[in-house]
Amino acid sequence: MPHRIEITLKDEVRDPRGERIKREIEHFLHLEVAEVRTIDVYTVDAPLSAEELAQVAAGPFSDPVIQNYSIDKPAAAGFDYLVEVGFRPGVTDNVGRTAGEAIGYLLGRPLAAGEGVYTSVQYLITGKLSQADAEKIATGLLCNTLIQRYQILDAATFKAQGGVAPFVPKVQVEAKAEVNTINLEISDEELMRISRDGVLALTLDEMKIIQAHYRDPKVVETRKSLGLGAAPTDVELEALAQTWSEHCKHKIFSADVTYDDGQGNTEKINSLFKSYIQKTTADVRAAQGDKDYCLSVFKDNAGVIKFNDDWSLVFKVETHNSPSALDPYGGALTGIVGVNRDPFGTGKGAKLIFNTDVFCFADPFYEKELPKRLLHPRRIYEGVVEGVEHGGNKSGIPTVNGSLVFDERFAGKPLVFCGTAGLMPATIKGEPSHQKKIIPGDLIVMTGGRIGKDGIHGATFSSEELNENSPVSAVQIGDPITQKRMFDFLIRARDKALYRFITDNGAGGLSSSIGEMSEECGGCQLDLSKAPLKYPGLAPWEILISEAQERMSLAVPPEKIDEFMEMAKRYGVEATVLGTFTDSGIFHMLYGDKTVAYLPLSFMHAGLPPMQIPARWEKPVHEEPKLAPSADYTGDVKALLSSLNICSKESVVRRYDHEVQGGSVVKPFTGVDNDGPSDAAVVRPILDSFEGVVVGHGICPRYSDIDAYDMAANAIDEGLRNYVAVGGSLDLVAGLDNFCWCDPVLSERTPDGPYKMAQLVRANKALYDYCTVFSMPLISGKDSMKNDFYDGTTKISIPPTLLFSVIGKMEDARLAVTMDVKRAGDQVYLLGATANELGASEYLAQKGFVGNNVPKVDAQAALAGYRAYGAALKAGLVASCHDLSDGGLAVAAAESAFAGGFGMELDLAQVPFKGDAAEKSDIALLFSESASRLLVTVRAEKAAEFEKAMAGTPCARIGAVTAEPVLKVKGLSGSVVVNAQNAELKAAWQEPLKDL
Amino acid sequence: MTKAKALVITGNGTNCETEAAHACKLGGFDEARIAHIAELLTGEVSLDDYHFLNLTGGFLDGDDLGSAKAQANRLRYAAVEGKEERLVDQITRFIADGKLILGVCNGFQLLVKMGMLPALSGNYLKQTVTLTYNASGRFQDRWCYLKVDPASPSLYTRGIEGGVYLPVRHGEGKFLVDDAKTLEAIEAKHLSCLKYSDKNYAAPTMEFPENPNGSVNAIAGVCDETGRIMGLMPHPEAFVHRTQHPRWTREELPEEGEGLIFFKNAAKYVKENF
């Protein structure tokens, strides 16, 4: 009989959680409630005595200073409606797990298999509400019905039935470890039905390739000798579907593309990845010669570059879009703890030194009708922000840099980019730590969490568009503490060289990790029945592809296994030997004695011919707005500062620990009141050294509405310019590309595939064109190609988006520069030329236009400017520097001024302009988003030296910092066109998201 | 002279061990060992060999049952392998030996929930105060001005004039007491050695964001009556060099950060008393 322990706050203690829910009910659901109080419920499914229950309730479960507990007796009282929300069976319940462990310490023995603790929360709502209102609160705010269950009781019913009955959300499955075979000697329609019904995401061509493989007489013969039938087992089919999924195989990036540039030229591109991304790095490295600092690129879970002689720097950025659309909290949490495993699973393992996050959402205040199944953007915003908060903070990794980007189309799918950098010793026991190998005979070991049904079909599901039937099981909830424990152990095992190879279990689970590891040595033999399970009853194929979190796969030499296992035990980490790496050429899965999958690696990893994808570029033409000149743009500047893309994100950023590990040098916020927005982050990962790691990023999806080539060019330039602004060195800098696209493959559902594919081609061309000039190798990246929502009637495709992250070094972090103006009398310079480039700008968006003049990046000019600026910074000539991006000069000047607490007087006539003089206007000078520009302030006595340093680049003194805290801009006519107090500008900038 | 030895415990979600050990070294400790809790439970590392115990920031067990609750439970019940004692016995002996404990953030939460602070009348195992969810209901990373009580017995805050400026980074930092008598005793004995204040350290404040969590009487840190055990929500180890200050690029600051004094005072005390 399960027991319910309910924990209430004492009457006089405030309930911040309840207060927040009350505010959200009023704010978002527009319902009046008088009060919300909350109760924590632990349902203990273990035979504890009354005395033990009391000890547990009084001890670890409640805080005697502020809480009361009640055992098997309802504590709730004085409410109109009660909503209790708990997890559905099988969903990760971290608090429940910790509660179970706590009982174990108390009893002196761990809970037995099948015993457990399950948590839920009761919300006691007081107010004049109807049952329907309560229902709305439950489903619209408190409960994500995909992963949680709820019940609503009014006070009378609650009383009548004597409280809430205990409910144990235990996974109840018939134990059925059976293996089925799938007959593929069927019609094409039947083949596709199998793919669709099984969420395999295999195309007909792919199904037929599999069919052909099983028809091969040699294959038939081998299978016969092993006692396997002619038809594939479900384990084999699932392994192939996972290995060949877009998510894991990147079929679009390796496809053969026929690109028609719209001007009569056709180009054949064999693999965008090889032709542009890999080639960028190869060409940059060749040109750098012996100055090459790349150590491991594209072949491991993350990229590795040299930091100094003793340390190497590791970086990876991932996306977790589809899961975040379904369960924003769990999806985003899993996104961040998932990407943590990438640098940790690179080379022999890296210590994690910081996270970066970029989120793309629709307007959280969106008021229009949304297609069914889509969560409101506000819930996505709340959930994602909180998921990444918990994932990052609890892992003890500072979140140092990020962005929030808004566009209505992200209602179809939010983008959740999570990045993590790590630091590894250059060598461990004399061997380079960025390299690893497997020797046949090494043992296959899995460490960390157990396997459940969570995350089954994550890899294949994210390879399809989101639709009404997207599987619930594809969602996982991460557990940062289990992972942290595992990392604490593994990093010590690494330093003792107890393993030879490590990789992460992410998308595709064991199928992916062991499949890829097998390629290193030429085969594997693994017994799926040895894998530790969360609960019994998983089929072998489920064990193979489950994406249950917090697991690493390792190759441990047999002579080290005892020490490895003993150490794991001591650190409280589960480690299991699952099999042996071989050189048989076969991916060989057993379940006990029985072979359940026997796949030649050559077929698994090379059996798939490239896709053929057409691409046809057609330059879109948008209405070109005629903007009437105005005598005063102060209102426009304030409106821009209040736009979602530009406004302060402080309410989110302060929820992320950006200083843990003690190396913070340039923080997300800076200036006299610690609230000005930094361009990039500087971190000292080694506390007794002043060498800094610098990280920044660029992202401008809206530019894709005009040309994805320029979207990519501007993202790259923005990333580099943010990096350079704070002091990042151009001599040790690397890029990382994350493509998030809408499906670009021509099909019935995607008739505009060729256009979207052409956008992808163009973005890749820009990547090559700019990174080679900037001498910036690409070290890693990721693509997510199916960011569409389609429910049969409504299709929402995201704007093609490249997140370009930049990481590198500054030799002396004490030279870092921040964006806040420092003192009155300093001279203000604008670096880089401005053009009439309002196309797809924030300014035109506010006026309801897209326009056509998207900013063009002049790579050579940009580089010359950045080099000169870098030298000036090193010489100590720069007081402040802020990058110009969304909102142009006007926004950058306002931000620098109010961050520094001084005013600024600028003269637009002094701004370096490129292009036809007839196009020069106050609007263009104030709001154009022309690339490669920096707003710099310099001490008056250093002005001459600074000008000398910048000689030969478009750089002009455009004004001065003033004591009076006012932004005053003189227009081309000589009259003042912007005039506002810092305080009002700052208020406009801080207002929109301050209460979220 | 005695070799001053500091121990920093990590594991199960502790996150600030590296910078805490770094601060100990900078502060003058001859040795600053980072030990995983597993090494204490197996007896590989013994508290008895150290003078200064650092319980530092993090999210012990994810703060899943409330901050540091699960670890408080673990330390109370977990036995040290091969010995007839629990970890908590080693800790009470450490205190009885006149040694030093500094709990920062999650470490402060742990000390409080084990009852080791404020430990009125020397009762180190009875919880009388707590640290719970911030009044804002949100995690906060921001810098705070902390007024020091010069009459406090805390050995860590000796020599601080006015106050110190340090970062807080927590979701559960609101200090509350079980009853008015406890609060009276804390104040009467000057155990509330640090309080959130205005930037001139003129007076404690209940205003957000200067007081980031709504702590009663603006209490940010407390010590026991001996002054050797202290806990605080702000992070002194996060400000040992000027480049960690949020405004170092615009203010003239000394090379050394204001948080280092806590560790210097601890090292000095150890060297003078052991």
Catalytic residue status for B241: no
The two structure tokens encoding residue A931? 């690339």
Output the pLDDT for position A372.
79
Output the pLDDT for position A689.
97
Could you tell me which residue, A178 or B199, shows the higher pLDDT? B199
Output the pLDDT for position B144.
98
Output the pLDDT for position B133.
94
CB contact under 8 Å between B250 and A481, yes or no, is no
pLDDT surpassing 90 at residue A537: no
How far does A773 lie from chain B, in Å, by closest CA? 32
Which residue from A minimizes the CA distance to B136?
A16
Instruction: Compute the mean pLDDT over every residue in chain B, rounded to the nearest whole number.
Output: 96
Of B16, B24, B105, B144, the catalytic one is B105
pLDDT surpassing 80 at residue A200: yes
CB contact under 8 Å between A662 and B250, yes or no, is no
- Lowest mean per-residue pLDDT among A136-145, A634-643, B238-247: A136-145
pLDDT surpassing 90 at residue A463: no
> Measured between alpha carbons, how far is A562 from A498 in angstroms, rounded to an integer?
10
Contacts B135 to A, Cβ<8 Å? 14, 16
pLDDT surpassing 60 at residue A926: yes
The arithmetic mean of pLDDT across residues A135-159, rounded, is: 91
Contacts A105 to B, Cβ<8 Å? 73-74, 77-78
Distances A238 to A233, A317, A540, A746, B225 between C-alpha atoms, Å = 9, 27, 10, 26, 65
Contacts B238 to A, Cβ<8 Å? 659-660, 662, 664
pLDDT digits (tens, 9 = 90+) for A949-959: 999 999 999 99
Could you tell me which residue, A202 or B119, shows the higher pLDDT? B119
Q: Name which of B9, B14, B18, B134 to mutate to probe chain A: the one with the most chain A Cβ atoms within 10 A of its Cβ.
A: B18
Confidence grade of residue A766 (pLDDT, cut at 50, 70, 90): very high
pLDDT digits (tens, 9 = 90+) for A882-892: 999 999 999 99
Q: What is the DSSP string of A937-960?
A: EE-GGGHHHHHHHTTTSSEEEEEE
How far does B257 lie from chain A, in Å, by closest CA? 12
How far does B131 lie from chain A, in Å, by closest CA? 9
The arithmetic mean of pLDDT across residues A512-517, rounded, is: 92
pLDDT digits (tens, 9 = 90+) for A113-130: 889 999 999 999 999 999
Q: What's the maximum distance between 2 C-alpha atoms anywhere in chain A?
A: 90
pLDDT surpassing 90 at residue A169: no
Contacts B58 to A, Cβ<8 Å? 396
Contacts A656 to B, Cβ<8 Å? 139, 141
pLDDT digits (tens, 9 = 90+) for A475-505: 677 789 999 999 999 999 999 999 999 999 8
CB contact under 8 Å between B137 and A19, yes or no, is yes
Whether the Cβ atoms of residue A461 and residue A479 lie closer than 8 Å to each other:
no
Which residue from B minimizes the CA distance to A107?
B77
Interface of A with B in 651-670 (CB under 8 A): 654-667, 669-670
pTM of the model: 0.95
pLDDT surpassing 70 at residue A173: no
CB nearest to B36's CB, from A64, A571, A822: A571
Q: What is the DSSP string of A812-862?
A: -GGG---SS--STT-EEEEES-B-S--TT-HHHHHHT---S------HHHH
Confidence grade of residue B107 (pLDDT, cut at 50, 70, 90): very high
Residue type, position A785, single letter = M
Interface of A with B in 460-489 (CB under 8 A): 479-481, 484-485, 488
Q: Does residue A896 come out as left (phi exceeding 0), alpha (psi in the -120 to 50 range) or beta? A: alpha
Whether the Cβ atoms of residue A775 and residue A729 lie closer than 8 Å to each other:
no
The arithmetic mean of pLDDT across residues A921-930, rounded, is: 98
pLDDT surpassing 90 at residue A899: yes
The arithmetic mean of pLDDT across residues A634-641, rounded, is: 98
Catalytic residue status for A320: yes
How far does A421 lie from chain B, in Å, by closest CA? 16
How far does B37 lie from chain A, in Å, by closest CA? 8
Of A3, A247, A390, A434, the catalytic one is A247
How far does A737 lie from chain B, in Å, by closest CA? 29
Query: Running DSSP on this structure, what letter comes out for residue A140?
Result: I
Query: Running DSSP on this structure, what letter comes out for residue B86?
Result: B
CB contact under 8 Å between A661 and B18, yes or no, is yes
Q: Among B78, B85, B117, B87, which Cα is nearest to B101's?
A: B117
- Lowest mean per-residue pLDDT among A177-191, A267-281, B134-148: A177-191
pLDDT surpassing 60 at residue A462: no
CB atoms within 10 A of CB B202: 12
Instruction: Compute the mean pLDDT over every residue in chain A, rounded to the nearest whole number.
Output: 93
Residue written as tokens 């939010």? A414
- Lowest mean per-residue pLDDT among A89-93, A235-239, A679-683: A89-93
Output the pLDDT for position A291.
96
Q: Name which of A67, A395, A484, A496 to mutate to probe chain B: the one with the most chain B Cβ atoms within 10 A of its Cβ.
A: A484
- Lowest mean per-residue pLDDT among A246-255, A270-279, A353-362, A828-837: A246-255
The arithmetic mean of pLDDT across residues B85-94, rounded, is: 93
pLDDT surpassing 90 at residue A796: yes
How far does A299 lie from chain B, in Å, by closest CA? 30
Contacts B128 to A, Cβ<8 Å? 65
Output the pLDDT for position A252.
93
For residue B194, what are the domain limits? 5-273
How far does A512 lie from chain B, in Å, by closest CA? 29
pLDDT surpassing 80 at residue A467: no
At A784, phi and psi to the nearest 5?
-135, 110
Contacts A61 to B, Cβ<8 Å? 65, 69
Domains in chain B: how many in total? 1
Output the pLDDT for position A235.
92
Interface of A with B in 349-368 (CB under 8 A): none
The two structure tokens encoding residue A547? 């994406």
Output the pLDDT for position A452.
84
Contacts B127 to A, Cβ<8 Å? 63-65
CB contact under 8 Å between B19 and A393, yes or no, is no
- Lowest mean per-residue pLDDT among A268-277, A553-562, B70-79, B199-208: B70-79
Count CA atoms closer than 13 A to B269's CA, side-chain side.
24
Could you tell me which residue, A307 or A794, shows the higher pLDDT? A307
Interface of A with B in 897-926 (CB under 8 A): 900
Contacts A60 to B, Cβ<8 Å? 65, 69-70, 72-73
Could you tell me which residue, A24 or B158, shows the higher pLDDT? B158
Output the pLDDT for position B268.
97
pLDDT surpassing 60 at residue A36: yes
Q: Report the CATH number at residue B201.
A: 3.40.50.880
CB contact under 8 Å between B65 and A671, yes or no, is no
Contacts A571 to B, Cβ<8 Å? 11, 36, 38
Confidence grade of residue A472 (pLDDT, cut at 50, 70, 90): low
CB contact under 8 Å between B61 and A101, yes or no, is yes
Output the pLDDT for position A475.
66
Query: Running DSSP on this structure, what letter comes out for residue A751?
Result: T
> Measured between alpha carbons, how far is A992 from A553 in angstroms, rounded to an integer?
45
Interface of A with B in 75-134 (CB under 8 A): 94-95, 97-99, 101-102, 105-106, 108
Task: Please give the share of chain A, as a percent, with pLDDT higher than 70.
Answer: 98
Q: Name which of B37, B44, B56, B59 to mutate to probe chain A: the one with the most chain A Cβ atoms within 10 A of its Cβ.
A: B59
Whether the Cβ atoms of residue A651 and residue A993 lie closer than 8 Å to each other:
yes
> Measured between alpha carbons, how far is A110 from A100 in angstroms, rounded to an integer?
8
Confidence grade of residue B79 (pLDDT, cut at 50, 70, 90): confident
CB nearest to B69's CB, from A60, A664, A822: A60
Whether the Cβ atoms of residue A509 and residue A549 lie closer than 8 Å to each other:
no
Please state the length of chain A: 996
pLDDT digits (tens, 9 = 90+) for A708-718: 999 999 999 99
Q: What is the DSSP string of A569-615?
A: HHTT--EEEEEEE-SSSEEEEEETTEEEEEEEHHHHHH--PPPEEEE
Interface of A with B in 615-654 (CB under 8 A): 654
CB nearest to B176's CB, from A65, A108, A665: A65
Output the pLDDT for position B206.
97
CB contact under 8 Å between A94 and B64, yes or no, is yes
> Measured between alpha carbons, how far is A757 from B223 in angstroms, rounded to an integer?
65
